Each structure stands twice: as C-alpha cells, then as structure tokens.
Structure 1
Amino acid sequence: MIPSLVSLCSQVVVSDHSSSPRWLSWVPRELYRPLLDAAFADCRPLAVNELVQRWPERALRVGGHRGQGPGRTGPNRLSVQAMLLAVVRGLSDPRCALKVVDLCGLHGDEGGFGDSMGGWSLTVALCSMVVQASNGAQRGRKKEGERERKRISALEREKDIKRQWQKGREANGEDVSSDRMCAVLAEEELIKGVRRRMEIERKQQSTLTGVAGTTKENEEKHQGSDVLVHVRADLFVNARSWERVHVALSTSGPLKLQCRYLRVEEISVSSIRTLLDLLPRKGLLGMDVRYSSLGVAGLAELLPLLSTFPALNSLRLHYCNLDFRRDHPGLEDALRDLSQGLAQLQELRRLSLTALRMPGQLRVLLSSLPQPLEVLELPYLSLSPADLAYLSCSHHASTLQQLDLSENRLDENTLPSIRRLLSNASNSLQHLSLSGCGLTDRLLRLLLPSLGICWGLKSLALALNPLSMAGLMDLIRMAVQMPSLRQLLYPNPLEDYQPGLPELPSSAHLLDWPLNDTIDISATSSQLNRVLMENKRTDLFLTCDLLNYDKDLMT
C-alpha cells in the first residue's frame, strides 16, 4: 500500500519533538488523526501524549483488528502508556474534547512478538488509569473545598473586624451611615447563602448516595453523573489481576471503564459473578472463559447471569473441566439446566467449546439455542457419529460462516454426515478447520467433491492429517479451482517424516515426529507452488506452519 502525501508529511512532522510547540498551536483538527497514526506507527510516545491530551473531537478510536493485512501490528507499549497518561491529563485540559475512548481490539497476544501491549497488560494499565483519575478528582475536590472554606473564613474575619469597628464608633458616639450598614448586612447574607448552598449540596449528595445503594440501575446513573470520559475496551482478567479490575470497576470518578469482550482465566464462578455484576448491562458482546474449573454445575450457574446482557453474541468455553461422560445421578438435571440457560441467550451467534468431553450431547446443547449460529468451534470434543449426524441436519448448518471440527476423529461412518453438513453450509461457509481429524488419502478423495462446492470458502485448515504426497497434490488441484480460497494450511506429507511412523499415525504422532533431514523439505513447497503458478493463483497462500497460521490474515 502506497502511503498518502498527508501520511508522509505527518511522519516528518511528528519525527521532531522539539518543533511540536510550534505546529501544535496552529494544526487544524482534521490533521490530528493522521498525526496520531504517524506517531503510533513511528513509535513517538511524546507526540502521542501531546496530541491525545488536547484531542479536539469527542471520540478517539485506537482499536486494532487482526486481519488487516500481513505485517500490521498495533501501537507499541510506550505509545499506549503515553496515550493513557494523556487521557488522564486531558481531563483538566480545556482544549481536550474527549468523551469516548474506544480501545476495543487494541491488545495483541500475551507473549507475542514485538513490543505490542498484551491483553493482560493493557487491562492492568487501564485499571490503574481509572483509579489514578478518580484519586486526582478526589484531590481536586478536597482542594476546592479547602479554598471555599478559606474564602468563608476570610469573609467571617472581615465581618468581625467591621463589627468591632462599628461598635467602636458607636461607643465613641459617632453616627454609622446607612450605606455602611447595608454593606455589612449584604455581606452577612452572602455568607449565609454560601453556607446554605453548601449544606444543600451535601444533603443532595447523601440522599443520592442512599438511593443509589438500593438498585444497580440507580447506582450506574449516580456514578454516571460524575463521568467525563467513557473508556471502552476488551478486558483480560485472571487470578493475578482480578482484585485490581474489581477496584477499577467499583470506583466512581471521571473515567468509566466499559467492557466489550471479557476474557477470564483461572478464576471461580463467584469471582466471575462479581465482575459481571459490576459491568453495565448494555455493551458486553462476548464472554471467554478459559482454564477455570466451572464444572457442569458452575456453567449452569453462569448462563443465567449471561442472559442479563442483551447484546451478548459470543460465548467461548476452553478447558473448563466439563465432563459429560461420567455417569452420576445429577447429570440429566444438569443438562436440562444447561439447555434452559442457553435458551435464554437470545442474541448468541458465536459458540466455542474446547475440550469439554461431551460425546453424544451436542443435540441437547445446540437444539435449545433460539437463533442459528454463525460461528461454531468444537475442537477436542470427541464428537460421536450421532453428534455429527445431528449437526449436519440442524438449523445451524445453513448459516455457519466459520466451523472448527479439529481433533475430532473422522472415518467412513461419519463421512456421510460431514458431506451433508458441507452441502448444507456451502452457501455461507467461509472458514473451515479439519486439522487432526485422521483424514487419509482415501477419505480425502471422498470428501473433496463436498469441499469443492463451498464456493465462498476463504480459508481451509487440514494440518496434522496423514496424507501422502499424492493425496496432497489432489488437495492442491481442488484448491486452485475454488475462486474465493485465500489460505490453505496443508499437512506435511508422510514422505517428509523420518521412518518409523505407525501405519495410521494420529495427530499427536505427526506433531511430535521429526521430519527427515536428508530430504529437501522445500521441494514439497516448490512442487505445490508450481501448481499455483500453472493455474495463475497468485492470490492463494499455502503454508504448513501450524503455529503461525492465522485464518484472518488475508480476509
């Protein structure tokens, strides 16, 4: 992408911080956005701080979206910290017009490459910013109250002096003019008026505080009266940051933290409940629970809480210790509670269930959803033939845009259901993952016609399947005939591995088994890319890199 002239000029302007006092005084508001983009791109935290502190518009959007293109990264850590500090400073800057700061999608992955700020770090920084702004506002109110008290004390001292002067003149038999008497009375009335106004404000504040404690709606309204800037973000909370997030959400002040997507890790159901009670009912779009021992009973308790958020459209549960294989007396009741809880999620469109060990129970969960799903991720679920048969004929099949069935074993018994599912989803499906499903050359050849009719498919992941070079070539020849396909994650062919693999290796075998050093691995890539060139498909990206694969990279 060729940068515009405005972008090039903005980079030059923000590169010299010593000149900022000159250009900040005359730059028009229309140029603040390109200047801030240039400051972020060139890692100029000082310029970021000065621009945000006097931001001329009511809204500031600094969110990042994955999938904007290869090589795109968000602002670095120092720039984000400078921006947050500028938001706090802008509260007392009359030139700043900020009312909404939208940071949704800004964070990157924790521990990722580069110096971008991860989700956990950004959440902690946001909470510190909210508490810092609240403490600053309290100090400001104390100073204002102290100034008011000093002013009143000065008036009272002056009044006492004038009274003593008046008494002295009366004792000496001097006449006190009526104008002087009127002035003294006016000052007394002024002092009484100030006192009366302060007393009324104090009573009103205590009354509002008492009423606000009765209901959550009144509490949000009372707290909102002091809010100057609303900060929207995606929050990432774990056991280490829970207390800090709890304090920030409970704090009233000039900054109000709002959450779009809430991700929690390794915290209990009661702690999740506490966080949800502190979030505004409107605005929460997604909930992501990971590595938390919810259990079946905990999930049944969580779902009614989520139903109180009317805009919630995404629910992700990863490794939450849900085991439906155990035969215990309360299993049927728990399943019924889960079904009823899911039925209350009226806007749910994205559902991700990872490693929940629930063979044979897919119908119980998905049939209760009131609306058809658009995104369904079911990796490591040990799906049974009955589960896949239900899914292929369910009301979700024709609306699915993204489907992940990774690490669910497929064989000749389940293949008809998969083909029926792909046929019903052919008009809507855009992303499909069948990695680690045990697809052999023979199974893949039976499945290729069904894959080929998914004309809207943009990404296809088939890693860790035991395919030979012949099967891989069949896959590539089919892929080049799909006009919308932009990414293909293919498995290393069996010929590239060192000898000793089982006859039908599992995905775990293929993941851990070493590749053969005596074979030129790049020869496989060259052979596949030759097929692309022959069919003039330079827009199709092939990769076998499972760890760095991103289905949204080129969409």
Structure 2
Amino acid sequence: MSIQTPPTLLQLAVESLLRDQASAISALEYLPAELFPPLFIQAYQSRIWEPLMAMLRTWPFTVLPLGDLMQLPSVMVLKAMLDELDVLLAQKVRPRRWKLRVLDFRNTGANFWRMWCGDSTQKCSLTGPVAVHISSPNMEHPLAPLEVFLDLNFNERDRDKFFMYIIQWAQQRKELVHLCCKTLRFFDVPFERARKVLDGVQLDCIQEVEVDYPWDLPTLGSFALYMGQMSNLQRLSLSHINLLAEEEEDWDRKQQEEQRYFSQFLSQMLRLRHLRDLNMESPSFLRGRLDQMLRCLQTPLDKLSIWLCWQLTHSDLTHLFQCPNLRQLKSLHLYGANLTDFSPEPFRALLEAVAPTLQDLRLDNCGMVDSQVEAILPVLSHCHRLRKFTISKNNFSMATVEKLLRHTAGLCSLEFELYPIPLECYRTQETVDQERVALIRAELKETLRELGKPRTIHLDTKYFSSRQFYLVVFS
C-alpha cells in the first residue's frame, strides 16, 4: 500500500483560495508575492479563468515565464491573456502591484516556478528591475512598456497559428510591445511552412538559427535571403543540406545550378558580422566549396563543429586548417573527417595557433593513425585551457594511447577525456577481447599512477555494433 505525501500548507492555501473565485480575486491586492506563482499555476492547470486574468492585472514580478506552462499552446488561452494585457497597456494609470515588463514564451522559466512553488533550494529574486534592451547586442528599438520573447521552434507540432497570433498582436501594438525572437529552429518541417512567420518578425533580433531537415540548395538559397537580414546572428547550425537531384544527362547544367544557389547563400553569409559559432552536419553541399564559405566569415569563430564530414576532400580540409578566422577557436569538433592519408602539418599549425584559447577539442572517428597523433603531441601539451578532449574511434596502438596520457598530464583544466580502445584489444574487426581490455586498463592505470595525478579517463570501442565504454580511474 503506497503512502501519499500530504499536501503542504501552501497547496492547501491555494486550493482554499480558488474554491471561492470572488474572494480569491479580491484578495490579490493583499496577498504576498510568494503566493502568486503557485496560485497562477493551479488556476492555469484547472482552467479557472477569472482569477487567472485577475492575476495578470496584479502580477508583482517583472517577468512572467509562460513558455514552460504552455507546452501545447492554445490560441484560445493565449487570446484571453493578450486581451487582458491590452486593457492594461491602454491604461495611463496601471494597477499598483503590476510590475510586468517581460512576457516570456520561451522554455526558460522552470527555475522561477520551482523556486516559488517550493521545489528549489535556490533563493533569488525576480522582483527587481529587468533590462528590456537585451533583444540584440547591437540593435536599438524604442523603449516599450512590455517586451515579449518568443522562440520560433518549427517542428512536427503545428505551432504556426500560435506564432502568428503573437506576431500579429505585437505588430498592432508597436509603441507598447516589442517582440524579440532570438532563436529560430527547423526540425522536420519544410521551409515553406515557416515563410509567413518569418515575414512578420524583426529578423535582426535573431541570434541563433538551427536547421535539421533535408533542405536542398534552392531552399537554402531562399532561406539565405532571410538569413542575410539577421544582422545579429551569432550561431548557425545546418544539418543535411542536399545537393540537387542527379541528372546525368545534363551534368554541366546541374553543376551550374548548384553553384548559383550556393553563391546566393554565400552572398548573404557575407552580411553576418557577429557569427561566432558554426555547426554543420553531413555537409555534402560544401564538398569542393568549403574554402568559398570560409572566405565569407567576417569575424573569428569561437566554435566550429563539422559532423559526418567524410564528404570533404583533402583540399577542403587544408583550407579549413589554414583559415585565418579559425585562429581564436575555443571549441573545435570534427567527427568523421577522413584524415587517414592527410598530412598532419596543416592541422598542427592550426593547433599551435589556437593553443592559448582552445577549451574543447573533439577528433572522433577521423581515421587518425599513430604517426598523425605523434606529430601533434608537442602542440597538444601546450593547450593549457583544454577542458574536454575526445579522440575516440581512431586507429591507435597501446603505445600511442600511453603517449597521449603523458602529453596531456600537465593540462590542469582537463575535466573529460575519451580515448579509443587500443588496436591490440580487437580479436577481429568488430570483436573486443575482454581479457585483453582488462590487461590494458590495468596498464593504463599504472601509467596514471606513475604520472601521480588523480585522473579519470574513458575508453570507447571503435564500432557501433559492439560499442562499449570503459573507465580507468586513479585517485
């Protein structure tokens, strides 16, 4: 028989208040601010509308984070709330307790609700002033009584009507409301579904764009016309951008069309003067063209990630490692780069340049061999700010793994390390000899003991079909 946790005094007080809606509304003027969040949540979840609207009129905090409450947003509920705000914004003299300056539809308010509903030990205050000019780092807009934050997350859920209602409401009240959309994401939706929404927002507010959908180059070219207006864009992530369909009978025309759309994309990239974080996955559209895109970078990057990048040529990789705007990297992720026959010199030169700033280095599944690692070991040992280092799924002997451990032993900031299981541990191509693994782990632990520093390293098998992780700990 299960024992139910009895309700807290706070829960009992909230339930008691809401049993008599008229009394609850009249009491709002005198209730402590701490009671508003649990009362608001209970009224919202129970669909008790009149007290909910009354709380909007007397909200005692500068921020109202609605995003975490409206996981499946209803346009009807949204309309009721915005209609109530209309009345308040139109008043020259507003209610005494009403302090609302920021209406936040992003999923960023969980800590707020947890704190005031008794589920958090953290104590902070949101009753103080909130800066409303944080929409974009270099954008000016008139001071508005209310700032509205909205993330444009296009996914399989049909949120377009919800987005459009907020956008149109804000557009009709430009002197009273400033709408700020900082994040734009496409997950499993075609671009055409989002075009109408993009036509209605202030594009220079957007700071982060993420595309995870098999767009083709013409679609990327069309989207680029919007992207070029995102003058404060700081992070761009593109996944699964495809080339045009194969047309063997007219190969030259296909190549010309691809280059035309790619050039359209590049012309807009040139306008992104604040881009610091670039993430690309399966970048087949960059094969043989990576140098063109790198030349469009207007500022040095802080972060660069390229996943599933075996389509890139050796020439692409050479241009990548020699790019001047990668000389201040804090984070470099390469997954699936074909470095097996690649000269280590360009990569070593890049590491030498970024050694003072690099904090995160990931070189997984890049086909690296012993000789390539040995070429970069002296430089690696000078990356003193490195916190995360992963180099798994590469072809290293036990001797090379030991050398890696010795050359990274002096990196005092290192918090996470992931290395490949040495080649000596494999019976066949995809079968690991567990007895041999046990011996290798014991040898590596002895190496760590010899180095004399408490340390935990992770080992990863090379093949997904037999993937296993192992720890080696010396404390």
Question: Which of the five TM-score ranges fits, normalised by the shorter chain?
Answer: 0.5 to 0.7
Does the C-alpha gap of structure 1 residues 27 and 525 become closer, same or farther in structure 2, counting only changes over 3 Å?
A: farther
Partner residue of 2:342? 413
Preserved CA contact (<8 Å) 1:318 1:353: yes
Within-5 A mapping of 1:46-445: 49-50=38-39, 89=52, 92-101=55-64, 124-125=71-72, 127-128=73-74, 131-135=76-80, 230-232=147-149, 234-250=151-167, 252=169, 258-293=180-215, 295-322=216-243, 328-357=255-284, 358-381=286-309, 382-445=311-374
8 Å CA contact 1:258–1:283 kept in 2: the answer is yes
Q: 1:18 to 1:256 in 2, by over 3 A?
A: farther
Q: Percent identity?
A: 21
Conserved? CA contact 2:217–2:241, under 8 Å: no
SS in 2 for 1:297: helix
Q: Relative to 1, partners in 2 of residues 1:408 and 1:123: Cα closer, same or farther, differing over 3 Å? A: farther
Indicate if the aligned counterparts of 1:237 and 1:245 stay in contact, CA closer than 8 A: no
Q: Is the contact between residue 303 and residue 329 of structure 2 (CA under 8 Å) also seen in structure 1?
A: yes
Q: Secondary structure at the match of 1:378?
A: strand
Aligned to 1:466, the other structure's residue is in SS state coil
Q: CA deviation at 1:21?
A: 8.4
Q: Secondary structure, in 3 states, of the residue corresponding to 2:327?
A: helix
CA contact (8 A) 2:275 2:299 kept: yes
Aligned to 1:490, what secondary structure does the other structure show? strand
Q: TM-score, normalised by structure 1?
A: 0.58
The structure that is strand-richer by fraction is 2
CA 1:444–1:311 in 2, change beyond 3 Å: closer, same or farther?
same
Structure 1 gap ranges (5+) = 1-11, 36-46, 55-80, 107-121, 143-220, 502-512, 550-555
Counterpart CA distance in 2 for 1:468 and 1:522 is 16
Indicate the structure whose relative CO is greater, using CA pairs within 8 Å and at least 6 residues apart. 1
Query: Hey, which of these two has a bigger chunk of helix by percent?
Result: 1
Letter in 2 for 1:18: L
What is the DSSP-based 3-state SS (H/G/I as helix, E as strand, rest coil) of the residue aligned with 2:384?
coil
Deviations 1:108-164 (A, max 9, x none): xxxxxxxxxxxxxx8753x33x6413135559999xxxxxxxxxxxxxxxxxxxxxx
Q: Could you say if the C-alpha distance between residues 257 and 364 of structure 1 is closer, same or farther in structure 2, counting changes exceeding 3 Å?
A: same
Cα 1:267–1:94, aligned 2, differ >3 Å: closer, same or farther? closer
Secondary structure at the counterpart of residue 396 of structure 1: helix
Deviations 1:364-393 (A, max 9, x none): 011012222111112223332222222233
Aligned to 1:432, what secondary structure does the other structure show? strand
What residue identity is the alignment partner of 2:303? V
Q: What SS does structure 1 have at the residue aligned with 2:256?
A: coil
For 2:425, the aligned partner's letter is: D
Aligned residues: 383
Matched ranges for 1:21-60 at <5 A: 32=34, 49-50=38-39
> Contact 2:304/2:333 (CA < 8 Å) preserved in 1?
yes
Instruction: Spell out, residue by residue over 1:318-353, the C-alpha distance to the aligned partner (whole angstroms, 9 max, x if none).
Output: 112147997522233333222211101121111111
Contact (CA 8 Å) 1:14, 1:20: kept in 2 or not?
Answer: no
SS in 1 for 2:181: strand
Q: CA RMSD in A?
A: 4.4
- 8 Å Cα contact 2:243-2:258 kept in structure 1: no
C-alpha distance in 2 between matches for 1:403 and 1:262 = 23
CA distance in 2: counterparts of 1:140 and 1:439, whole angstroms: 60
- CA separation of 1:123 and 1:137: change in aligned 2, threshold 3 A: closer
Comparing 339-348 with 81-90, which one deviates more in the overlay? 81-90
Inter-partner Cα distance in structure 2 for 1:490 and 1:50: 51
